Copies of this chain bind each other. A is one copy, B any other.
Amino acid sequence: MKLLEDYIVNKGEIIDGDILKVDMFLNHLVDVELFNEMGKEFHRLFGNKPINKILTIEASGIGIACIVAQYFSVPVLFAKKGVHRNVGTDLYTAEVYSFTKGTVTTIGVSKKYLLPEDHVLIIDDFLADGNASLGLVSLIEQAGATLEGVGIAIEKGFQCGRDRLLEKGCDLKSLAVIKSMDGGKIVFADAADS
């Protein structure tokens, strides 16, 4: 998606060689107009599927998922991190290793809100090694629901997330796939590669 690639090149920053900082439009300060364009694009890519629910993970996936959900006219379910007193214990859970924090977090969704008859689109802001997305896939599997696809804003194509999701049979679409960031220069994969 050319618009998102332009945002990444013009506004993003690479720190410590391998961390792409996009907190000026994606995951701290949030450009809602960009999110709407992303929503239209995700709908173009997945709109032919019988999706009735979007699943994401707190925190930075929530904004994108909510804007995207408007184009599908479906609710959003967001997986929570850690244990929350208000959620109760009747949860599907998965363990997710966070590369950026260096910690393992238990994510969970209430069994009441993820059902065997659901057709689910996963939406998230980033795909790198795929741990968060695979955690969400696990929740869908536990519920016996149908995974219709995985829509990612920015994929680090040089990490293993794509292969791990394809191994699970996921229909994965990323709006911007970064092939390399060597020397601080961002190279995108061609649309045909992704």
Contacts and interface: CB of A to CB of B under 8 A. Distances in A.
Interface of A: 15, 19, 21, 23-24, 28-33, 35-36, 58-60, 62-63, 65-67, 69-70, 73-78, 80-81, 84-87, 100-102, 109-110, 112-113
Contacts of A74: 32
Cβ-closest 6 pairs across A and B: A58-B59, A63-B66, A30-B76, A59-B59, A29-B113, A62-B62
Given A59-B58, A70-B36, A75 B30 contact: yes
Nearest to A113: B29
The oligomer's copy count stands at: 2
Contact of A113 (B28, B73, B75, B87): B28
- State the main secondary structure of chain A at its contact with B: mixed
A75 B28 contact: no
B80 A63 contact: no
Interface centre among A66, A70, A102 (most CB of B within 10 A): A66
Contact of A24 (B32, B36, B70, B112): B112
Contacts of A81: 59
A74 B33 CA distance: 9
A67 B65 CA distance: 11
B76 A63 contact: yes
Contact of A21 (B23, B36, B86): B86
A1 B40 CA distance: 30
A66 B24 contact: no
